[in-house]
Amino acid sequence: MGDKISVIIPIYKVEDYLHRCVDSIINQTYTNLEIILVDDGSPDNCPMICDEYSEKDSRIRVIHKKNGGLSDARNAGIDIATGKYIMFIDSDDFVDREMIESMMKNMIDNKVDMVVCNIKYVYEDREVVKYNQEDRILDRYEAMEEYLKDGVVQAVAWNKLYKKSLINDMRYKVGKTNEDEFFTYKVVDKTDKIYYNSKPFYNYIQRNSSIMGKYSIKRLDGVEASYERLNFIKEKYPTLYEKEKKTFVNLCIYSYQMILKEPNLDKDKQGRKILNNYTKKIKFNKTELKNYSYKDKLKIYLSKISLDACCKILDIL
């Protein structure tokens, strides 16, 4: 039968999608599953749907809790999970029937700590596969390199099968919009090897009302996470630090540009102050700057003076 896998599905206001999501897990070809449905205080019919599923399938456990957000819901699932392995699925998405069996085979046959599968972006009128790469095994450094360049190892929690021992002592930061950005790189750092499965088993539904669909001031949580990660990389992966510094400055500039487009997002200008403080902390030496393009040098120089001036000048160029 194989070892038990705990599948955690946080649920909030997704009654139109929930059946398809849960059915895609129930009908997996790999059957030794503990399916944990975490009703995060959903005000619609989701709590009732969860209870109906638990009555039909003994593998399903339901948690009903006060709304605390996605991180809190995932943490509640981790707290009660009993599987040797763990997986997260977002409740408005669904997965192909062979996903778990295929990823579990990758895990066991290759003696890895995590398996990541390809992603299919599902729009109303089309489907787009994320990556065009073959299966491969990555060591810890290669995996972190992929993570930092938004490669086959992404920050998202949900297209992955983890050894539960990797995350037993970890929990998601509650109240953060970009919760995965605070979490996943630390898990990657705890692995020895990761397997990338090129089959697009995970169907990632694109809808306007999702948490990440629009820009808001809460996106600065992602900048905070990136700054934490930058300092982590400086200490543990110094050869990746220079490139990550430049990426971080670009993120600050982009975030500032988005705020300037919608100034009502940051009426008290605290967001702009935070971003300016971040860029002033990042230091570049002459050797690093010598290898950059003129535009990159200009961005770095201007960001040190003022992100406001930097963004306005870049708009002219």
pLDDT tens string 21-76 = 999 999 999 999 999 999 999 999 999 999 999 999 999 999 999 999 999 999 99
Query: How confident is the model over 93-107, as a mean pLDDT?
Result: 98
Encode 280-302 in three state secondary structure. Answer: HHCCCCHHHHHCCCHHHHHHHHH
Q: Classify burial at 37, counting beta carbons within 10 Å of its beta carbon; exposed 0-12, middle 13-18, buried 19 or more.
A: buried
Q: What pLDDT does residue 209 have? A: 56
Tokens of 162: 């983890």
Q: Are 215 and 262 in contact (CB under 8 A)?
A: yes
Q: Residue 84 pLDDT more than 70?
A: yes
Query: How confident is the model over 105-127, as a mean pLDDT?
Result: 96
Q: What pLDDT does residue 316 have? A: 77
**213 pLDDT band (50/70/90 cuts)?**
low
**188 pLDDT band (50/70/90 cuts)?**
very high
Q: Residue 214 pLDDT more than 70?
A: no
Q: What is the mean pLDDT of the chain?
A: 94
Pairing label, strands 114-122, 160-163: antiparallel
Q: What pLDDT does residue 36 have? A: 98
Q: Which pTM does this prediction carry?
A: 0.91
Q: Residue 251 pLDDT more than 60?
A: yes
User: What's the CA angle centered on 171, arms 99 and 63, to 5 degrees?
Assistant: 70
**156 pLDDT band (50/70/90 cuts)?**
very high
Least confident of 127-136, 217-226, 285-294: 285-294
**315 pLDDT band (50/70/90 cuts)?**
confident
**177 pLDDT band (50/70/90 cuts)?**
confident
Q: Residue 210 pLDDT more than 80?
A: no
Q: What pLDDT does residue 134 have? A: 96
Q: Residue 174 pLDDT more than 90?
A: yes
**240 pLDDT band (50/70/90 cuts)?**
very high
pLDDT > 90 in the chain, percent = 83
Query: How confident is the model over 158-167, as a mean pLDDT?
Result: 97
DSSP for the chain, please give it: ----EEEEEEESS-HHHHHHHHHHHHT-S---EEEEEEE-S-SSSHHHHHHHHHHH-TTEEEEE-----HHHHHHHHHHH---SEEEE--TT-EE-TTHHHHHHHHHHHHT-SEEEEEEEEE-SS-EEES-----EEEEHHHHHHHHHTT-SS-S-STTEEEEGGGTTT--PPTT-TTHHHHHHHHHHHT-SEEEEEEEEEEEEE--TTSTTSS--GGGHHHHHHHHHHHHHHHHH-GGGHHHHHHHHHHHHHHHHHHHHHSGGGGTTSHHHHHHHHHHHH----HHHHHTS-HHHHHHHHHHHH-HHHHHHHHHH-
Q: Residue 128 pLDDT more than 60?
A: yes
Q: Are 108 and 193 in contact (CB under 8 A)?
A: no
